Structures are given as structure tokens and as C-alpha cells.
Amino acid sequence: MSDLTRLSAADLASLIAKREVSAVEVATAHLDRIAAVDDRVHAFLHVDRAGALEAAAAVDRGEITGPLAGVPIAVKDVVTTKGVPTTAASKILEGWKPPYDATIVERLKKAGMPILGKTNMDEFAMGSSTEYSAYGPTNNPWDLGRIPGGSGGGSAAALAAYEAPLAIGTDTGGSIRQPGAVTGTVGAKPTYGGTSRYGLIAFSSSLDTPGPCARTVEDTALLHAVIAGHDPRDSTSIDKPVPDVVRAAQLGKSGDLSGVKLGVVKEFSGDGSEPGVAAAFKDSLEALVKLGAEVVEVSCPHFEYALPAYYLIAPSECSSNLARFDGVRYGLRAGDDGNRSLEEVMSLTREAGFGPEVKRRIIIGTYALSSGYYDAYYGQAQKVRTLITRDFQSAFEKVDVLVSPTTPFVAFPFGSRTSDPYQMYLADLFTIPTNLYGGPAISVPCGLSEGLPVGFQIMAPTLADDRMYRVAAALESAVGTFTPPAL
Amino acid sequence: MAAISREEVAHLARLSRLAVTEEELDRFAGQLDVILQSVARVGEVAAEDIPPTSHSVPLTNVYREDVPTTSLTQDAALSGAPDAYEGRFRVPRILDEED
């Protein structure tokens, strides 16, 4: 038997269904791989060996069947897992074991997918490098001295290091796509409301979207199909059929894109991308044209205001959402000496439990929502959101999808962007507009720049998730997949 | 001119219930000033006639049938609490003793 950790999820599922390999063997191979390499990668905050093996055994007993039955998965630590530690990479939730599963976790369990463990991330999903994890950063398997992207760097690195064939991420401003881009893996942000937020530890509720991560487009689509769909426990969940993303990915694999119009955003070109990233993007566009696609330049004049609008909206929502961490119902309580007041204990708890980026965003959000500043900041950012949505809508009258590099630069060395927080925010320049609009987008590896992976982003209209999978699968068939050096 | 002063950051930290240190105040004041000056660009777009978007899904007041189902047990709900007493969350003193 070849190394099980190198196989795609689709191939593993097929071998397990045919009983050529057991789900327990597959889970064990990945758990052993984690044990062998994760001291160097640090993709995981918690490994649930017993839970994963038990779930795999249930598949082997024939209790659960399905398209991904027996295929193990890693879950970002911002998603609640009943009885399994969930910290959002924050000290304020250290040791917390949620009393319930997120809806997407329930769906993974029903699909017979063993959960290997919880992956590292920037604290509360705020960041683009995992350097803001309270438990230390994840190292990029392509170069252990470089960032794996963020906030979902642990999920992406687990895939690139062959510790898991599939992973769950969450995308508020690019936290699935940018880690995918810099680790040479695939990550998709579904349409907002297409996947349930129930059981996600909330960061920015109007933007947070859980989604699938994998090493191939087809695997990403298979996982998308398992987790997507209406959930009555999420009031913004969309009660409509899930687009057939698996069929779209299979269709795209054939490599025919005749009649598909790709929109290149004028305002993104020549703006901030490293030369190697721009070159890989241009080569990929040419590859797609050879498959029959047509390239059209479109103008989205308000995209340049997306980053400023996002960094008002997301901190505003986070300052409200994170008020729940008050040292009363769960997590840390600091300074409770029997004499201090509730308010003092709350302030000391939050000071001790939150890291610097979380504090910065809470303070900015509190400022932006303050009386006197509200109209100039938060109110104006919401109007920009309308203008960006209109830019997308008018672009999609002319083209089927929009394309861009996923992130302006390849994986950067640790410490190179932490002293100036705004430099870190620029990592999300190309991913953020989609979050403000609410549509789906995917990052797919498209080449290397100085030996490091470059991501190609495909953005589709709301509820047309299938479209981006078709183009992504076609690109993958043209450029292939990318394998990091051996660890 | 700075968009935000050290005193304002201290005030916002108090409102946010963050007992920040003097060293953090020094560091945050400069960083937040850079961030706020950058995001203030949203004001460049004249948008008087533009309605705000709070959310990408056009839904308001989503209702469901009022069907009783099981909820978390009291033990499960209290399982993560830093301090609990007789089936309740126990909190530090809320009122000043002199009050």
C-alpha cells in the first residue's frame, strides 16, 4: 500500500468504500504522520487520537456510509467540538470543552468523518499569519521559517504537511483563501449564509463564513457538499438548494472553458502584487484562455475602499461579539481575590486573556461605534459596502467570474509584518471585497514564485459557488498541483 | 495631526473593560493612529444618497415554529464556568460595600 497520507480524499473514500483499506488504517496513518512532523509544523493545538479512531471504527463496522465516510479531517479551533478543547487560539478559552457541536461538526460526524484534532490559527481568527496565536505560530511546510497564512494557517499547513487530507476553515476577510494560497493548497469561501455559523466562535457575524480546505479542487467540492446547506439554528442561513459544486468540479476537470468569461479587475492590476505573483497570475490567465475562456477587463472603482471599510466593520462587530468573554460563564477568570468588584475582575480577565491584535481591534471597534464617530466610520463603511456590492453586481453583468491573485505576496518570514499592523492587513487586499459582498470565492494553487506557492482567486456571484469550482478545476488540470519539499 | 490620543485610547480601553498597561498604551496609541488614519479613507466616498449595507443576505426577522426541544442540562451549561455555586454562575461582588 502506498503512503495513505499522500492520497486525495476522493481516492481514500473510494478505497475505504471498497474495503481495500480500513478507515482505522487511514486515521492511524494520519495520526502517525502528525506525531512525526507536527513538532516542526505546529498545525495542531489539540489532537484527538481516541475520538478519531472511534469514529473510524464506526465506519469500518458499516454503521455509516457516504461520499467521504472514513476520510479524516482537521477542524479549525474556532469551531466548537463537543467535549474536545476549543480555544480559538486564545488564552481566554484555554482548556474550554464546549458542551455542544457546531452544525458543520455535526454534519462531519454524520458523514462518518473522523476528526483528527483542532488546528492553530490567529487568536479569534484575527490575523494573516498565525503569529497572533496565543500558543505560538504554525510553520509553513514549504519553508519552516515562513508564515502559513492566517487566520487558518493551521488548517492549510496540516494539508500541505500531509497531516490531514481535508480541513475546515473560516473566512471573514480571507482566512481560508490566503493560507491556501501561501501553502499551495485549495481553500473555498462559500456564499455567506451557504454554510452555518452555528457553533463558530463569532468574530464578525456579518462576514464569518466556514468553508472547505483540501489539496485538490474536487476534494474541496466534496467537503463543501457535506457541510453546506440550510440550518434553522443560524438566522442568516440561506434556505435554498446548495449549488452542485461536485458536478461543477468534475465538469471543470475536463478542461473545457469555452464560453466562460473571466473578469480581470482593473483596479487590482499593478497594485501591490510582487512581481513573481503577478507573473504566475498572468501565466495562469493564458492557460485558461487556451482552455477556451475569454478575458475581459472590468472596473470595480470602489474596491480600493474595501480594506478600510473591512477594518472598520470587522473590529466594530468583534468589539461587540467579544464582550461575552467576561470571566463569568466560561474560560479564564483573573484577579478574583474576593475583594475586587465584578468590573475590575472583568477588566483584569480580558487584559490577561486577550492578545495584542484582539485588544487593538476591540479598541478600534469601540472607537468606530462611539457616538460622534459612528457616522464618519462605521456608518460610512456600511455605505462603502453597498458600493462594493454594486461593483460586483455590475461586473457580473459582463462576466461569469472575477479573477485575481489571492494575496499580493508569497509566504513572508516570521516577524516581518508584526510591528506595523497595517502592513499585515494588506495580505487581505484581494480577498476582502468578496466578504463585504457576500459571494463565494476560491483560491487554487497556480504556480511558484522563488520556490513558494502562489494562489489564483476566482470570485463568483452569490449562490453561484458551482461556477468558481468549474474554473478552479480547469486551472488545476492545466497547471497541476504543487508538492512542498520533504519535511 | 494624530487621529487618536493616548488619553482617548485609555478611555476606550476602560469602556472595553481592558485593564491595559502603561506600556501597551504607549504602543497602541501609535499603532491605532496609523490604522485609523488609513481606514478614515472611507470618508472620501461621498455617499449621502447610498443606503448602508449591514449584511449581505437580505433577510429580516427570521421566524421558526415554536417547538419545545431539549436544551443543555444545567450541569452542561455550568461545565465551563470559572466558578459556580448551587447550580448558578458565581460572580465577584457587584455592589460597593459602602453603597
Sketch out chain A's domains with CATH numbers: 4-253 (3.90.1300.10)
For the segment A297-317, the average pLDDT, to the nearest whole number, is: 96
In this predicted model, what pLDDT tens digit does every residue of A225-278 receive, in sequence order? 999 999 999 999 999 999 999 999 999 999 999 999 999 999 987 667 999 999
Q: Residue B58: which pLDDT band, with cuts at 50, 70 and 90?
A: confident
Q: Residue B65: which pLDDT band, with cuts at 50, 70 and 90?
A: confident
- How far is Cα B80 from Cα A330, in angstroms, rounded to an integer? 5
Asked if residues A389 and B50 have their Cβ atoms less than 8 Å apart, the reply is no
**Residue (of A134, A123, A113) closest to A48 by Cα position:** A113
- How far is Cα A127 from Cα A267, in angstroms, rounded to an integer? 24
Tell me: pLDDT of A2 over 70. Answer: no
Average pLDDT, rounded, for chain B: 89
A chain contacts of residue B81, beta-carbon cutoff 8 Å: 328-330
In this predicted model, what pLDDT tens digit does every residue of A364-373 receive, in sequence order? 999 999 989 9
- pLDDT (0 to 100) of residue A471: 98
Which residue do the cell numbers 504566475 mark? A280
Q: Is A484 helix (H, G, I), strand (E, B) or coil?
A: coil
Residue B27 lies in a domain: yes
Contact A359 B56 (CB under 8 A): no
Q: Residue A193: which pLDDT band, with cuts at 50, 70 and 90?
A: very high
- Buried-exposed string A301-337: b where 16+ CB fall within 10 A, e elsewhere: ebbbbbbbbbbbbbbbbbbbbbeebbbbebbbbbbbe
In this predicted model, what pLDDT tens digit does every residue of A16-70 receive, in sequence order? 999 999 999 999 999 999 999 999 999 999 999 999 999 999 999 999 999 999 9
Active site residues of A: 76, 151, 175
ipTM rounded to 2 decimals: 0.93
**Strand-pair category, A294-298 with A261-265:** parallel
Chain A nearest C-alpha distance from B1 (Å): 17
- pLDDT (0 to 100) of residue A33: 98
Contact A376 B17 (CB under 8 A): no
Cell readout for A249 is 468540479
Chain B nearest C-alpha distance from A125 (Å): 19
A chain contacts of residue B23, beta-carbon cutoff 8 Å: none
CA distances in angstroms from A466 to A450, A474, B98, listed in the order given: 32, 13, 65
Which residue do the cell numbers 469602556 mark? B15
Contact A363 B43 (CB under 8 A): no
- pLDDT (0 to 100) of residue B97: 59
Q: Please report, rounded to a whole number, the percentage of residues in chain A having pLDDT higher than 90.
A: 96
- The boundaries of the domain holding residue B31 are 6-43
Residue B28 lies in a domain: yes
Q: A421 to chain B: nearest residue by CA?
A: B31
In this predicted model, what pLDDT tens digit does every residue of A128-143 receive, in sequence order? 999 999 999 999 999 9
- pLDDT (0 to 100) of residue A186: 98
- How far is Cα A159 from Cα A166, in angstroms, rounded to an integer? 7
Beta strand segments in A73-178, E? 73-76, 115-119, 166-171
For the segment A387-397, the average pLDDT, to the nearest whole number, is: 97
> In degrees rounded to 5, what are phi and psi of residue A261?
-100, 120
Average pLDDT, rounded, for chain A: 96
Q: Residue A422: which pLDDT band, with cuts at 50, 70 and 90?
A: confident
- How far is Cα A473 from Cα A410, in angstroms, rounded to an integer? 22
Residue B94 lies in a domain: no
Residue B30 lies in a domain: yes
Question: What pTM was computed for the model?
Answer: 0.97
Asked if residues A186 and A445 have their Cβ atoms less than 8 Å apart, the reply is yes
Specify the DSSP element, H or E, that contains A213. Answer: strand A209-214
For the segment A92-106, the average pLDDT, to the nearest whole number, is: 97
Q: Which of A363, A373, A393 should one mutate to test binding to chain B, selecting the residue with the greatest count of B CBs within 10 A?
A: A363
> In degrees rounded to 5, what are phi and psi of residue A45?
-95, -25
**Residue (of A9, A460, A14) closest to A245 by Cα position:** A460
**Residue (of A448, A435, A478, A412) closest to A191 by Cα position:** A435
Which residue do the cell numbers 476582502 mark? A432
Using CA of residue A23, residue A25, residue A29, residue A31, what is the dihedral sign?
positive
Structure-derived torsion over alpha carbons of residues A173, A177, A180, A186, reported in degrees to the nearest 10: 160
Do you find a cis peptide bond into A151, omega within 30 degrees of 0?
yes
Cell readout for A204 is 464578525
Asked if residues A457 and A405 have their Cβ atoms less than 8 Å apart, the reply is yes
Contact A308 B72 (CB under 8 A): no
Contact A99 B18 (CB under 8 A): no
Specify the DSSP element, H or E, that contains A452. Answer: strand A452-459
**Residue (of A98, A201, A191) closest to A151 by Cα position:** A201
- pLDDT (0 to 100) of residue A254: 92
Sheet holding A452-459, edge to edge: A44-47, A115-119, A73-76, A166-171, A209-214, A186-189, A441-449, A452-459, A401-405, A261-265, A294-298
Cell readout for A3 is 503512503
**Residue (of A187, A195, A132, A134) closest to A158 by Cα position:** A187
Tell me: pLDDT of A189 over 60. Answer: yes
Q: What angle do CA A11, A13, A15 make, to 5 degrees?
A: 70
B chain contacts of residue A356, beta-carbon cutoff 8 Å: 24, 27
Residue A412 one-letter amino acid: F
For the segment B48-67, the average pLDDT, to the nearest whole number, is: 86
For the segment B35-46, the average pLDDT, to the nearest whole number, is: 90
B chain contacts of residue A385, beta-carbon cutoff 8 Å: 52-53
In this predicted model, what pLDDT tens digit does every residue of B18-37 receive, in sequence order? 999 999 999 999 999 999 99
Q: What is the full DSSP assignment across A422-445?
A: HHHHGGGTTTHHHHHHT--EEEEE
Q: Residue B98: which pLDDT band, with cuts at 50, 70 and 90?
A: low
- How far is Cα A347 from Cα A378, in angstroms, rounded to an integer? 25
User: Which are the contacts of A89, defined by CB distance < 8 A and separation ≥ 6?
Assistant: A45, A77, A78, A120, A121, A122, A123, A124, A130, A132, A133, A134, A135
In this predicted model, what pLDDT tens digit does every residue of A313-355 receive, in sequence order? 999 999 999 999 999 999 999 999 999 999 999 999 999 999 9
Q: Residue B1: which pLDDT band, with cuts at 50, 70 and 90?
A: low
- pLDDT (0 to 100) of residue A270: 65
Tell me: pLDDT of A1 over 50. Answer: no
Instruction: Choose between A2 and A19: higher pLDDT.
Output: A19
> How many distinct structural domains can be found in chain B?
1
Cell readout for A224 is 463543501
